[in-house]
Structure 1
Amino acid sequence: MNLLFCCAGGGSSSLFCARMVKGINTIEPSLTARMDDIRSFLQDERVSTTDLVFTYGSVDAVRPDTAYDIGTHIDAVLVAPQVRYRTPYLKRYLANYPTIVQDIPSRLFGMMDPVKGGRMLTGILITLDLMRGSTAGAFATKAADKDLEILVYGASRTDKGWQAAAASLEKMGIRCLQDKYSLAGLYDFEPEKDFEVRWLFGPQVRKMDIAKVARQIDGVLRFDEEPADGVRRWYDDYRIPSAWLDARLVQSLGHTDELTSQLVDFLLAVDARAEATSGIVVKRFETLKPPKTTKRWGIFTWSN
């Protein structure tokens, strides 16, 4: 089980994890526990051989753009008393994942005795494991989203040619929403009206953000020159449909029909790909399967 303990800055949660790891390793000979900071844990591609991994960090580590990483690696997020007001937000960010979000009891968080604290925590962990089992079928994928989100480079939503083509799409029943791209806005997004396509205009995606963007974006449309080294055709690695259109199509009103036709063809290709994709298929998201071992903890027996 992988656990994330959140506090205001990460300091008190690291001390709490150190005490709990010591207590678990002392009182539970059938279990092994270790601790790590959440950033290092998420970057570690090795398969964990530890029964309980106590990770720690700031409550700000759980955000809309990190929900995928947290939701697919962390079994439970436990929130320190001083930041309990953030618990509803964390639950909303992780609503599509089987990760349990729960407040840490004040008595447990303030307990300095690692052995007594470890005993108290084991009961909570059993309850959390049962709760998580009841939501094990919950999982979010890009394919589950019926709307398309397209990155647009080399064009502006104020370009006359683009405005005319967008109006033509609207007449065809393809409702368009046009936004400025940002990583935070890509994930933390609550539209005020229904739409079929969300066009996101903005600068080149930073190399460090590519994986997060790829999990949400359905297509990439370019009207610019070849992208810079380091991010060159990154969407091909993630099998995200892309198209390179002539920049002159968006610069004047004389190419509206041609641009509209090419946009429709591109959207059809993107939609077909999105419907066929049930999950991320890039190797970097594949998880190695650890060897199965049988564990016993009181009346509970399980294999991992």
Structure 2
Amino acid sequence: MNILFCCAGGGSSSLFCARMVKGINTSEPSLTARMTDINSFLREETVPTSDLVFTYGSEAAIRPDTAYDIGTHIDAVLVAPQVRYRTPYLKQYLANYPTIVQDIPSLLFGQMDPVRGGRMLTGILITLDLMHGYQSGIAAGKQVDKDLEILVYGASRTDPGWQAATAALSQLGIRSLQDKYSLAGLYDFHPRQDFEVRWLFGPHIDVDDIAKVARQVDGVLRFDDDLPLATSRWYDAYHIPNAWLPTKLLAAGSQAALVEQLLAFLQAVDWVAAAATGVRVKRFETLAPPKVVHRWGIFTWTN
């Protein structure tokens, strides 16, 4: 079982973990426990080496853009008393994962005796493990979303052709929401209006963020007058649908041609996303569905 103890800065939670590991290894001969910081754990952990792995860190380590890593590796998050006000937010971030988020009892956190504290913690962990079992059927991933999120390179929402094309899409029942890309905005997103496609402009993806972006986006659209090079890009490695369009389609008077290209692209993206309530217009429904569906982790694609 992997447990994250979080406090304001990580200092008191590391001291707490050290005491509890000592107590459990001393008083529970049938269990083995060890401790590490949360960043090292997520970076290095591949095969469990102990019955209980206690990780520690700041509550700020749990964010919308790290929820996938935490939710798929950590069974329980225990929140220190001094940051208990953050518990509702942490629960919200991890709502789509079977990770249990619970406050650490003040008596346990202030326990100076590592043996007594370790025994008390063992009882709490047994309860959390049972709760985790009940929630283990929760599905997490991009497929639970109903809308499409597309990264757009080389274009602006103010381009005349783009404005006319998205207006035409709206008339077909495909409503657009247009934002500037940021990693935080990609995950921590609370729309105030309904939409079918969210276009994210001007993305500069840091290498360290590629996996996080790939988990969330459905497609990549690039406007460029140069021919595509044979070089593989990050979205190719993750089998994310992408299209390469000439910039002349962004000019005024190119609405019809751009709409045609966007519809074809959204059709391909929608199939790959396999969203139960994704974009559906008559143009899409008249085409036969793909015969072969491939799955790799949280990604699905067809050919």
Normalization by structure 2: what TM-score? 0.89
- For 1:286, the equivalent position in structure 2 comes to none
Number of equivalences: 279
- For 1:78, the equivalent position in structure 2 comes to 78
- Equivalences for 1:84-123 in 2 at 5 Å? 84-123=84-123
Aligned residues of 1:183 and 1:213 also touching (Cα < 8 A): yes
Measured after TM superposition, the shift of residue 278 of structure 1 is: 6.1
Measured after TM superposition, the shift of residue 112 of structure 1 is: 1.4
- For 1:274, the equivalent position in structure 2 comes to 273
- For 1:143, the equivalent position in structure 2 comes to 143
Amino acid at match of 1:10: G
- Is residue 212 of structure 2 the alignment partner of residue 212 of structure 1? yes
- For 1:265, the equivalent position in structure 2 comes to 264
- For 1:193, the equivalent position in structure 2 comes to 193
- For 2:24, the equivalent position in structure 1 comes to 24
- For 1:14, the equivalent position in structure 2 comes to 14
* CA distances 1:153-177 after superposition (whole Å, capped 9, x unpaired): 1001111111111101001110110
Aligned residues of 1:13 and 1:80 also touching (Cα < 8 A): yes
Distance in 2 between residues matched to 1:10 and 1:81, nearest whole Å: 13
- For 2:279, the equivalent position in structure 1 comes to none
Q: Does the residue aligned with 1:96 lie in a helix, a strand or coil?
A: coil
Aligned residues of 1:142 and 1:279 also touching (Cα < 8 A): no
- When residues 225 and 212 of structure 1 are mapped into structure 2, their CA distance, relative to the original with a 3 A threshold, is farther
Distance in 2 between residues matched to 1:82 and 1:236, nearest whole Å: 44
After alignment, is 209-218 or 42-51 more displaced? 42-51
- For 1:256, the equivalent position in structure 2 comes to 255
Runs of 5+ in structure 1 lacking a partner? 283-304
Aligned residues of 2:151 and 2:203 also touching (Cα < 8 A): no
Runs of 5+ in structure 2 lacking a partner? 275-292
- For 1:172, the equivalent position in structure 2 comes to 172
- For 2:278, the equivalent position in structure 1 comes to none
Aligned residues of 1:148 and 1:218 also touching (Cα < 8 A): yes
Aligned residues of 1:143 and 1:279 also touching (Cα < 8 A): no
Q: Does the residue aligned with 1:90 lie in a helix, a strand or coil?
A: helix
Measured after TM superposition, the shift of residue 45 of structure 1 is: 4.4
- When residues 15 and 45 of structure 1 are mapped into structure 2, their CA distance, relative to the original with a 3 A threshold, is closer
Q: Does the residue aligned with 1:134 lie in a helix, a strand or coil?
A: helix
* CA distances 1:161-218 after superposition (whole Å, capped 9, x unpaired): 1111110100111011001111011011111111110000123211110000000000
Q: Does the residue aligned with 2:14 lie in a helix, a strand or coil?
A: helix
- For 2:129, the equivalent position in structure 1 comes to 129
Q: Does the residue aligned with 1:146 lie in a helix, a strand or coil?
A: coil
Distance in 2 between residues matched to 1:2 and 1:268, nearest whole Å: 41
Amino acid at match of 1:105: P
- When residues 225 and 102 of structure 1 are mapped into structure 2, their CA distance, relative to the original with a 3 A threshold, is farther
Amino acid at match of 1:62: I
* CA distances 1:64-90 after superposition (whole Å, capped 9, x unpaired): 000000000000000000000000000
- For 1:44, the equivalent position in structure 2 comes to 44
Aligned residues of 1:4 and 1:76 also touching (Cα < 8 A): yes
Distance in 1 between residues matched to 2:295 and 2:270, nearest whole Å: 13
Amino acid at match of 1:102: Q
Amino acid at match of 1:197: V
- When residues 85 and 71 of structure 1 are mapped into structure 2, their CA distance, relative to the original with a 3 A threshold, is same
Amino acid at match of 2:249: L
Distance in 1 between residues matched to 2:295 and 2:48, nearest whole Å: 26
Normalization by structure 1: what TM-score? 0.88
Distance in 1 between residues matched to 2:57 and 2:127, nearest whole Å: 23
Distance in 1 between residues matched to 2:32 and 2:104, nearest whole Å: 21
Distance in 1 between residues matched to 2:138 and 2:225, nearest whole Å: 41
Aligned residues of 1:143 and 1:278 also touching (Cα < 8 A): no
- When residues 11 and 232 of structure 1 are mapped into structure 2, their CA distance, relative to the original with a 3 A threshold, is farther
Amino acid at match of 2:29: P
Amino acid at match of 2:156: S
Aligned residues of 2:177 and 2:198 also touching (Cα < 8 A): yes
Root mean square deviation of aligned Cα = 1.8
Distance in 2 between residues matched to 1:222 and 1:10, nearest whole Å: 42
Measured after TM superposition, the shift of residue 277 of structure 1 is: 6.9
Residue identity (%):
73
Aligned residues of 2:4 and 2:74 also touching (Cα < 8 A): yes
Q: Does the residue aligned with 2:253 lie in a helix, a strand or coil?
A: helix
Aligned residues of 1:238 and 1:281 also touching (Cα < 8 A): no
